[in-house]
């Protein structure tokens, strides 16, 4: 019987971190081409007054836009091509369509990977999560603000639209840190402006309102939902910095979101998120092979769709029990403590 491989997971997964230029180009084509075709049909429909057709087509367009964002995501990890400049420039071009300044986002996302699950390094590139004690220490108005922030309508509806349409256009966060973030954001804004002018000239301003705007709003909500369930679920991992471990944070604090096959393809296997956090340079099209070759990773932090929905109310990290709890659970704890 062969000896089990006891090497660290990063070493064991290193061979998968080799992108194929031919496969990467193919993935871009089979994602961008359908998106362009759907948009073209929707623009024609909008031009002839078939607004309901245009609006319906925004849904599949949003799914392909999410997949295109995943290509941009892999480019930010230098995972899609061997050449760094190829990754960066393809990421920047896609950033015009996803209205996401590539270089700014790459920096915040790198911080997210370096600090995910670390209670002492929260607040950049993640969804704000307070501990029970931090929440209790807040004044009433800030508690209300946090509860509004964690409400599903805000978290998956208003919030994503605000982030992608407005926040990423404004000089906030990293955009204040020198000329490079400014160049990234303003360059993306200029590219977006050119794209909007071209669409308006070819298809009319109605196309922008009936096709592109709904596509972006729907895609942003889908994207934030995926990002949320990748780290906010029952049994997730958080630890103080002295006890924090990168591999533990990946295997326990990043989910294996088990989606039906069509959605796995549309989301570019981003549900295999625990493996991605162990070795972020694995191209998304190699992630299923990792699970096939290492079956022990299939069940790690496995999350079904029903389980992900049930996790939505979990909004606070209880350090005493080391688990996420809901506001309702906190209220029960408070009443029980008062009665004791």
Residue with token string 């996803």 = 98
Tokens in use for 160?
Answer: 């994503």
pLDDT at 126: 81
pLDDT, one tens digit per residue, over 308-329 is 999 999 999 999 999 999 999 9
51 in Cβ contact with 210 (< 8 Å)? yes
pTM assigned to the model: 0.93
Average pLDDT of the residues in 146-161: 96
244 in Cβ contact with 263 (< 8 Å)? no
pLDDT at 187: 93
Contacts of 68 (CB under 8 A, 6+ apart): 31, 32, 35, 94, 97, 98
Q: Please give the Cα distance from 76 to 72 (Å, whole number).
A: 6
Average pLDDT of the residues in 155-167: 93
Q: Please give the Cα distance from 335 to 93 (Å, whole number).
A: 54
The mean of the pLDDT values for the chain is 92
pLDDT at 158: 95
pLDDT at 171: 61
- Residue 258: closest CA among 307, 292, 322, 217: 307
pLDDT, one tens digit per residue, over 175-207 is 566 778 888 889 999 999 999 999 999 888 888
Q: Please give the Cα distance from 204 to 319 (Å, whole number).
A: 54
pLDDT, one tens digit per residue, over 242-285 is 999 989 999 999 999 999 989 999 999 999 999 999 999 999 99
Residue 173: pLDDT band by 50, 70, 90 thresholds?
low
DSSP code for 158: I
pLDDT, one tens digit per residue, over 51-81 is 999 999 999 999 999 999 999 999 999 999 9
Q: Please give the Cα distance from 100 to 8 (Å, whole number).
A: 34
Residue 1: pLDDT band by 50, 70, 90 thresholds?
very low
198 in Cβ contact with 97 (< 8 Å)? no
Pick the more confident residue, 136 or 5.
136
211 in Cβ contact with 46 (< 8 Å)? yes
């Amino acid at each position: 019987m062969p000896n089990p491989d006891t090497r660290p997971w990063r070493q064991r997964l290193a061979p998968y971190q080799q992108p194929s230029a031919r496969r990467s180009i193919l993935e871009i084509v089979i994602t961008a081409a359908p998106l362009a075709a759907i948009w073209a049909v929707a623009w024609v429909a909008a031009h002839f007054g078939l607004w309901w057709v245009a609006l319906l087509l925004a849904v599949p367009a949003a799914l392909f836009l999410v997949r295109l964002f995943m290509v941009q995501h892999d480019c930010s990890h230098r995972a899609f091509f061997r050449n760094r400049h190829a990754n960066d420039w393809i990421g920047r071009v896609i950033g015009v369509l996803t209205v996401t300044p590539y270089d700014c986002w790459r920096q915040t996302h790198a911080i997210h990977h370096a600090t995910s699950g670390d209670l002492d390094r929260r607040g950049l590139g993640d969804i704000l999560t307070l501990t029970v004690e931090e929440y209790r220490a807040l004044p009433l108005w800030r508690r209300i603000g946090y509860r509004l922030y964690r409400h599903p309508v805000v978290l998956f509806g208003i919030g994503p639209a605000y982030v992608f349409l407005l926040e990423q256009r404004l000089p906030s966060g990293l955009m204040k840190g020198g000329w490079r973030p400014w160049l990234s954001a303003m360059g993306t804004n200029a590219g977006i402006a050119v794209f909007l002018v071209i669409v308006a000239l070819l298809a009319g301003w109605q196309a922008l309102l009936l096709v592109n705007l709904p596509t972006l709003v729907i895609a942003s909500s889908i994207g934030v939902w995926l990002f949320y369930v990748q780290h906010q679920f029952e049994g997730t991992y958080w630890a103080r910095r002295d006890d924090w471990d990168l591999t533990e944070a990946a295997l326990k604090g990043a989910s294996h979101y088990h989606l039906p096959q069509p959605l796995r393809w549309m989301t570019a296997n981003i549900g295999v998120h625990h493996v991605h956090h162990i070795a972020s340079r694995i191209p998304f099209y190699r992630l299923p092979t990792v699970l096939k070759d290492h079956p022990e990773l299939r069940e790690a932090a496995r999350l079904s769709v029903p389980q992900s929905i049930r996790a939505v109310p979990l909004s606070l990290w209880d350090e005493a029990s080391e688990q996420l709890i809901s506001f309702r659970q906190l209220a029960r704890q408070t009443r029980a403590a008062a009665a004791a």
